[in-house]
């Protein structure tokens, strides 16, 4: 029998995180830590807040949906790091922190006297996640960067779209932000493990484009060994065919993935043309790749004879990997999403109940959870400055008068 939520041990219980990042990559990094029990304090510029509060669809409470969804489980306070009093308070918070997350342009924290060399003296066990457009080194380190630039510079945008048309956004311009945040969280956990062995902290350095370049399968070794520059292929996939999106009779789309000759043999049987597979004209990937356009045309003609559900049933019967090309409305209705609770319904006094993507990954003994949505400005300042740092009301009032808080 599982324990009540209040009694469950959390994977990152006791881990203290300070988040001074903004917009998306850094905040997503610390959100993942917060989902698994880390105590995350997010510091924002007084009166201004994180730009993510103004990015996307604005709700009736004045906060945007990306803010509410992607800054969940954090405690919020304001602090101006640029002022001496703010820098001093920041160092006090850093003194017993485990992880710091930042995504300023390289050199910004150093300009304020809060670079790695300073902070590691304050707390030698500190782990610092640094996410920027191009990383902390190299000739482009000072350039600003956003997700769209990460997609483009990382090599993904060049591959997105059809060969006779301009490159398109590969799904979302924010993919690099999410991937960089994911790698940032991974890096922080690896550094915590290393700290157990060495007793010392370290910093993690991530450029937004680097996770994009990392996931481009054989692109780099293929170019290095053969000089091949992969071009846009629409919904098709290099090295395998049929492996694309195909139309159905009810004006839907189905994704079919034949990643081996054996799977194509099963698809050919489902299509009623088993003679095309094995020793037939398209039995090997080399044969199918040579006739790629014709293979895709035949598969598309076959799927067009059936509704999407009928194609799904046929593919399932013959164990051919396939899936519907879903819009978000269909995701909300799908029984697999419901069974896995992939959508979390979170109650909030500002907006009522809000549907947000649930926590990933799943841990059987210490699962993560969404405790609350992205808070309002200054929501936890008493906790941070009175309980954590021991400031009294008079000192807090003084700092607010100076616009440090």
Average pLDDT of the chain, as a whole number = 96
The pLDDT value recorded for residue 55 is 93
Binned at pLDDT 50, 70 and 90, residue 6 comes out as: low
pLDDT of residue 86: 97
Residue 294 confidence (pLDDT)? 97
Residue 3's pLDDT is what?
43
Return the structure tokens found at 51.
Answer: 């730009």
Distance (Å, whole) CA 185 – CA 31? 9
Domain topology for 243-332: formyl-coa transferase, domain 3 (3.30.1540)
Confidence band for 322, pLDDT divided at 50, 70 and 90 = very high
* Mean pLDDT, residues 184-211 taken together: 98
At 281 the pLDDT is 96
Kindly state the average pLDDT of the residues 351-371. Answer: 96
Summarised one tens digit per residue, pLDDT across range 23-53 is 899 999 999 999 999 999 999 999 999 999 9
Catalytic one among 50, 98, 177, 205?
177
Q: List all residues 6 or more positions away from 338 whose beta carbon is below 8 Å from its beta carbon.
A: none
Contact call for residues 308 and 254 (beta carbons, < 8 A): yes
Asked if residue 351 has pLDDT above 90, the reply is yes
What does the pLDDT read at residue 8? Answer: 79
Residues of the chain with CATH 3.30.1540.10: 243-332
Report residue 315 as tokens.
Answer: 């593919």
Residue 331 has pLDDT above 50, yes or no: yes
Tens digit of each residue's pLDDT (9 = 90 or more) over 57-75: 999 999 999 999 999 999 9
Q: Average pLDDT in the 359-371 region?
A: 96
Residue 318: CA count within 13 A, CB half-sphere: 21
Q: 208: closest CA among 162, 280, 153? A: 153
| CB contact at 8 A, 178 and 151 | no
The answer to whether residues 68 and 62 touch, using CB atoms and an 8 Å cutoff, is no
pLDDT at 4 over 80: no
Q: Would you state the pLDDT for residue 100?
A: 98
pLDDT of residue 7: 66
Model pLDDT for residues 102-137, shown as the tens digit of each residue: 999 999 999 999 999 999 999 999 999 999 999 999
Name the pLDDT band for 181 (thresholds 50, 70, 90).
Answer: very high
Average pLDDT over residues 158-186: 96
Q: CA-CA distances (angstroms) from residue 324 to 84, 204, 231, 243, 307?
A: 56, 38, 26, 13, 11
Q: Does the pLDDT of residue 343 top 90, yes or no?
A: yes
Q: Where in the chain is the domain with CATH 3.40.50.10540?
A: 10-214+342-401
* CATH class of the structural domain 10-214+342-401: alpha beta
pLDDT digits (tens, 9 = 90+) for 252-268: 999 999 999 999 999 99
**Burial of residue 15 (number of CB atoms within 10 Å: 0-12, 13-18, 19+):** buried
Inter-axis angle of helices 261-271 and 308-317, to 10 degrees?
120
Residue 2 has pLDDT above 50, yes or no: no
pLDDT at 263: 98
> Any catalytic annotation for residue 392?
no
């Amino acid at each position: 029998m599982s324990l009540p939520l209040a009694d469950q041990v959390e994977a990152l219980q006791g881990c203290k995180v300070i988040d001074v990042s903004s917009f998306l990559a850094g905040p997503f990094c610390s959100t993942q830590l917060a989902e698994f029990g880390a105590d995350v304090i997010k510091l924002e510029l007084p009166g201004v807040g994180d730009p993510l509060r103004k990015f996307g669809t604005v709700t009736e409470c004045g906060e945007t949906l990306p803010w509410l969804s992607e800054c969940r489980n954090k405690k919020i306070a304001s602090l101006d790091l640029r002022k001496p009093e703010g820098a001093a308070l920041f160092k006090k918070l850093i003194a017993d922190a485990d992880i710091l997350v930042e995504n300023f342009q390289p050199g910004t924290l150093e300009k304020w006297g809060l670079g790695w060399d300073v902070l590691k003296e304050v707390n030698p066990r500190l782990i610092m996640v640094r996410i920027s457009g191009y990383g902390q080194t190299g000739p482009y380190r000072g350039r600003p960067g956003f997700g769209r630039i990460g997609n483009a510079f990382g090599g993904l945008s060049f591959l997105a779209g059809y060969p006779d048309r301009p490159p398109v956004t590969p799904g979302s311009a924010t993919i690099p932000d999410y991937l960089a945040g994911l790698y940032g969280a991974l890096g922080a956990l690896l550094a915590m493990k290393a700290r157990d062995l060495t007793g010392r902290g370290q910093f993690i350095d991530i450029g937004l484009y680097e996770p994009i370049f990392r996931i481009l399968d054989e692109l780099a070794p293929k170019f290095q060994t053969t000089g091949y520059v992969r071009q846009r292929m629409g919904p098709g996939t290099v090295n395998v065919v049929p492996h694309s999106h195909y139309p159905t009779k009810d004006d839907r789309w189905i994704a079919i993935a034949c990643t081996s000759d054996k799977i194509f043999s099963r698809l050919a049987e489902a299509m009623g043309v088993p003679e095309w597979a094995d020793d037939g004209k398209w039995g090997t990937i080399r044969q199918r790749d040579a006739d790629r356009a014709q293979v895709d045309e035949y598969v598309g003609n076959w799927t067009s004879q059936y509704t999407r559900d009928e194609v799904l049933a046929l593919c399932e019967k013959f164990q051919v990997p396939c899936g519907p090309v879903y819009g978000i409305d269909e995701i909300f209705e799908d029984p697999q999403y419901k069974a896995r609770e992939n959508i979390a319904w979170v109650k909030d006094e500002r907006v009522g109940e809000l549907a947000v993507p649930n926590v990933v990954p799943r841990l059987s003994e210490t699962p993560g959870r969404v405790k609350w949505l992205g808070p309002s400005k200054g929501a936890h300042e008493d906790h941070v400055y009175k309980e954590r740092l021991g400031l009294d009301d008079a000192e807090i009032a003084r700092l607010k008068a100076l616009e440090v808080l």
